[in-house]
Amino acid sequence: MNAKANKNHVTSIEPAYYQAITEAIRKEAAKILKDETVVGVVGYLPGRRKGTASPALVTTVEEAEKLIFSPACVNNLSVYLTKAKKGVLKQGKVGIVAKGCDMRALAGLMTESQLQREDLFIIGVVCPGVYGFGVERTGTLTDANIARKCRECTVHMPEGADVAAGTHTELADLTPEEAQELARIEAMPQAERWAFWKEHFSRCIRCMACRQVCPFCYCEQCLCDKNRPQAVENSPRPAGNMAWHLVRAMHLAGRCGGCAECERVCPMDIPLNLLNRRMAQELKELYDFEAGLTPVDKGPLNEYKENDDQSFIK
Amino acid sequence: MPQIITEQNLRNLIDLLVKEAKLVVGPKLSGSVVLYEPLTAGADLTLDALPRRSSKELFFPICEDILSYKRENGAMKVKDVDRSKFPEAVLIGAPPCDAGSPAILDAVMSWDYKDEFYLERRRKSTIVGIACTKGDDACFCRAVGLAPDAEAGSDLFLTPLKDGSYACNAVTEKGQALVAAHQNLFAEGAGAEPKPFVDQAVAKLDLVKIKKWLEEHFENPLWEKIADICVGCGACAFICPACHCFDINDEGSTDDGVRRKHWDACGFAKFTNHASGHNPRDVQNKRYRNRIMHKFKYYDDKFGKTLCTGCGRCIRACPVGIDIAEILETINTKQD
């Protein structure tokens, strides 16, 4: 259709594109390790299985030369900079490979004073997209195997990074499946919508993968782990599951960077990013807030303005 | 004499068992995922994908009530769960990596403490396993000593044949009884050629050598190398056919509530967190080390079995791509 309208829009992203990014990342990572700009670089290494990748913290030039970028580099690595998970930042400045969507998380974490820009060296990736779950991992990204979130990506360019690897290229004519699904659910009568989520949450096993991969779920004591007294049922039962996911959606409102990691990692295929998107929509309408690539002074729910919409107070 | 059952008769068998008021559990499409769920008809059975969660939940449910309590006239009344009401169950269509799990777990569940919830369900269940002709690059059952046609754990074992029917082998008395009670659905004969199995990428592992290495390397840089990236969720443990840790929570109020037993995972930071605040597994790689140690050393020490069936679920599901088969291969090739 309009594939020719923009020369950056193509029907497939070939392995060569990712290879070029890989080379650029390796070069940059080796350089900043060698000149001791950073103590380590959080990036991706290839997995055992064909077409897979895994996060890694590399600290030597030799290791840096094994880093990759491919459509399998799905993880939002910013999760390794927060929480008790990783003490990397304590050791000094850290390099991190970040796609646009990951950079929104970094910006959000800076807004929340969890990270300082000067502690990071961001190797931005001009990312055309990554694999969806359970797709064919051929090395080439197409309409058939691109992740749902990437179909509507607005942050191909990692603006604000220290360096950017890649040139702007994206797949043409991607249907906005997630927006369509959101609209479909929004159009449902309330009872039907409730049933939709109830069914999904009934399958939740409370493995907490959604929480653990979320860069913004950095509370040291999660409300949902409390048992004396219990705030939300700890056991994986429909009522507690529902409560957990709603609490989480609310707690992420105005903070979520939209990386959709929670949805990607859910072993039960619960479309969690629909909740995040719905909340993002709400924040846009109420406070004209959108998660972006630049840190702000205060998140929308952390400040009060005289002209804030108060129509929801009944 | 070998017996054969056609696919249609296998589905008819499910229909009959449902009519007999048995709880029939098998792979079934639930939303967009295949899970082991109660089948209401033979047509529900879906044999083209490995269910996302293992079949352990038939014996060890994700969450179950173990007692309830209520304060009445100032006195606390505790009511036990009537386990005699657990239904007679038939698990149908579990591949060896799932059907084989009770054969591993029975040991721990009937050890110093008898888990009567698990054991009562085990006594009342018959497992119809099925040889696996699928598989992907995460599968490694052969590497841990099982095989796509391993009968361990199955009472009746089906082997898919090229003509779409199944060769049946009644492995135990329970299996024989199931066939005998529905003899008209089975035919005698050897049947067609079996469907071929899929090759696996991971070579057979030397589990004795791995165990020995684990014994000698509780402290080793490998743990940091492979597990510092672990984000500490419970996905691997929850979908694993062999992981069996659980937590117990009292839910409700101080006057009226239920004590529940539900899945837990050694990957969670709070798993070993003491009331004092001290956590002996204070960092994630120590928690991940426990996962490997438990599966390939501790369980073997105690029960002479490996706590892994090579189903590959944890490999497919790990949010950060931790690949247990790769780790085992690494240990397997270690010289020190």
pLDDT digits over B130-165, tens only? 999 999 999 999 999 999 999 999 999 999 999 999
Of A141, A176, A160, A175, the residue nearest A70 (C-alpha)? A141
* Cross-chain Cβ contact A203/B31 below 8 Å: yes
Backbone angles phi, psi at A166, to 5 degrees: 110, 165
B66-81 pLDDT, tens digit each? 999 999 999 999 999 9
ipTM of the complex: 0.94
**A244 in contact with B, Cβ within 8 Å:** no
Q: Are B231 and A85 in contact (CB under 8 A)?
A: yes
- Of the candidates B30, B137, B239, the beta carbon closest to that of A267 is on B239
Mean pLDDT value across residues B16-21: 97
Shortest alpha-carbon distance between residue A146 and chain B (Å): 17
A89 vs B96: which has the higher pLDDT: B96
Mean pLDDT value across residues B211-224: 96
pLDDT of residue B78: 97
SS3 B149: coil
Please report, rounded to a whole number, the percentage of residues in chain B having pLDDT higher than 90: 93
**A219 in contact with B, Cβ within 8 Å:** no
* Cross-chain Cβ contact B262/A236 below 8 Å: yes
Q: Are B211 and B296 in contact (CB under 8 A)?
A: yes
- Of the candidates A84, A235, A269, the beta carbon closest to that of B33 is on A269
**Whole-angstrom Cα distance, residue B311 to residue B322?**
15
* Cross-chain Cβ contact B234/A208 below 8 Å: yes
Residue B224 buriedness (CB in 10 A; 0-12 / 13-18 / 19+)? middle
Shortest alpha-carbon distance between residue A83 and chain B (Å): 10
Tokens of B180: 């005998």
Residue A61 buriedness (CB in 10 A; 0-12 / 13-18 / 19+)? middle
Q: Are B159 and B147 in contact (CB under 8 A)?
A: no
Size of interface A-B (CB pairs under 8 A): 117
Of A77, A174, A71, the residue nearest A128 (C-alpha)? A71
A15-41 pLDDT, tens digit each? 999 999 999 999 999 999 999 999 999
Q: Are A33 and A92 in contact (CB under 8 A)?
A: no
* Bridge pairing between strands B23-30 and B33-38: antiparallel
- Of the candidates A80, A207, A264, the beta carbon closest to that of B234 is on A207
* Cross-chain Cβ contact A207/B231 below 8 Å: no
**Whole-angstrom Cα distance, residue A37 to residue A218?**
27
* Cross-chain Cβ contact B315/A237 below 8 Å: no
What burial letters (b/e) apply to B189-216, b meaning 16+ CB within 10 Å? eebeeebebeebbbeebebeebbebbee
User: Does pLDDT of B329 surpass 70?
Assistant: yes
User: Does pLDDT of A109 surpass 90?
Assistant: yes
Segments making up each domain of chain A, as ranges: 2-171, 177-302
State the best of A42, A44, A45, A49 to mutate against chain B, taking most chain B CBs within 10 Å: A49
**Whole-angstrom Cα distance, residue B59 to residue B123?**
10
Q: Are B168 and B2 in contact (CB under 8 A)?
A: yes
pLDDT of residue A2: 43
Q: Mean pLDDT of all residues in chain A?
A: 92
- Measured between CA atoms, the residue of chain B closest to residue A80 is B229
User: Does pLDDT of A6 surpass 90?
Assistant: no
Does the global pTM surpass 0.90?
yes
**Whole-angstrom Cα distance, residue A122 to residue B21?**
62
Residue B148 buriedness (CB in 10 A; 0-12 / 13-18 / 19+)? buried
- Sign, Cα dihedral of A12, A18, A19, A24: positive
A267-277 pLDDT, tens digit each? 999 999 999 99
pLDDT of residue A88: 62
* Largest pairwise CA distance in chain A: 61
* Largest pairwise CA distance in chain B: 70
B229 vs A2: which has the higher pLDDT: B229
* Cross-chain Cβ contact A233/B326 below 8 Å: no
User: Does pLDDT of A1 surpass 50?
Assistant: no
**Whole-angstrom Cα distance, residue B166 to residue A139?**
38
pLDDT of residue A86: 54
* Cross-chain Cβ contact B62/A54 below 8 Å: no
Of B253, B140, B247, the residue nearest A225 (C-alpha)? B247
Mean pLDDT value across residues A84-101: 80
For chain B, give me the number of helices (H) and strands (E)? Answer: 12, 12
* Peptide bond between residue B27 and the one before it cis (omega within 30 degrees of 0): no
What DSSP element (H or E) covers B251? strand B246-252
Backbone angles phi, psi at B280, to 5 degrees: -65, -30
User: Does pLDDT of B309 surpass 60?
Assistant: yes
What burial letters (b/e) apply to B82-102, b meaning 16+ CB within 10 Å? eeeebeebbbbbbbbbbbbbb
SS3 B126: strand
Q: At B303, which amino acid appears?
A: F
The residues near B186 (Cβ < 8 Å, ≥ 6 apart) are: B3, B4, B5, B9, B168, B179
**A206 in contact with B, Cβ within 8 Å:** yes
Residues of A in contact with B33 (CB under 8 A): 203, 268-269
Q: Are A22 and A64 in contact (CB under 8 A)?
A: no
Residues of A in contact with B237 (CB under 8 A): 207
Residues 29-68 on A with a CB inside 8 Å of B are 47-50, 52-57
User: Does pLDDT of B86 surpass 70?
Assistant: yes
pLDDT of residue A5: 52
pLDDT of residue A314: 79
- Of the candidates B234, B249, B329, the beta carbon closest to that of A235 is on B249
Mean pLDDT value across residues B290-302: 98
SS3 A198: helix
Shortest alpha-carbon distance between residue B256 and chain A (Å): 14
Residues of B in contact with A264 (CB under 8 A): 319
Q: Mean pLDDT of all residues in chain B?
A: 95
**Whole-angstrom Cα distance, residue B19 to residue B112?**
38
DSSP A41-108: EEEEEE-SSTT-EEEEEE-SHHHHTT----TT----GGGGGSTTT--GGGGS-EEEEE-HHHHHHHHH
The residues near B83 (Cβ < 8 Å, ≥ 6 apart) are: B116, B117, B120
Return the CA Rg of chain A.
Answer: 20
* Cross-chain Cβ contact A48/B31 below 8 Å: no
**A79 in contact with B, Cβ within 8 Å:** yes
Tokens of B24: 């029939």
- Measured between CA atoms, the residue of chain A closest to residue B34 is A268
**A85 in contact with B, Cβ within 8 Å:** yes
Most confident of A1-5, A165-169, B76-80: B76-80
A186-211 pLDDT, tens digit each? 999 999 999 999 999 999 999 999 99
B173-185 pLDDT, tens digit each? 999 999 999 999 9
Shortest alpha-carbon distance between residue A52 and chain B (Å): 8
Q: In what order do the strands lie in the sheet with B256-263?
A: B75-80, B63-72, B256-263, B246-252
Please name the residue that has the structure tokens 């897979």. A52
Tokens of A314: 């009944």
Shortest alpha-carbon distance between residue A76 and chain B (Å): 10
- Of the candidates B229, B237, B260, the beta carbon closest to that of A235 is on B260
* Cross-chain Cβ contact A48/B326 below 8 Å: yes
Question: How many degrees, rounded to 5, is the angle at CA A75 between CA A70 and CA A78?
Answer: 125
Mean pLDDT value across residues A281-307: 88
* Bridge pairing between strands B75-80 and B63-72: antiparallel
Residues of B with CB under 8 A from a CB of A: 30-33, 35, 52-53, 62-63, 137-138, 201, 228-229, 231-235, 237-239, 247, 249, 251, 260, 262-263, 265, 268-270, 284, 315, 317, 319-323, 325-326, 329
- Sign, Cα dihedral of B189, B194, B195, B197: positive
Q: Are A210 and A265 in contact (CB under 8 A)?
A: yes
- Of the candidates B247, B317, B321, the beta carbon closest to that of A47 is on B321
According to DSSP, the residues that pair with A164 across neighbouring strands are: A124
pLDDT of residue A85: 52
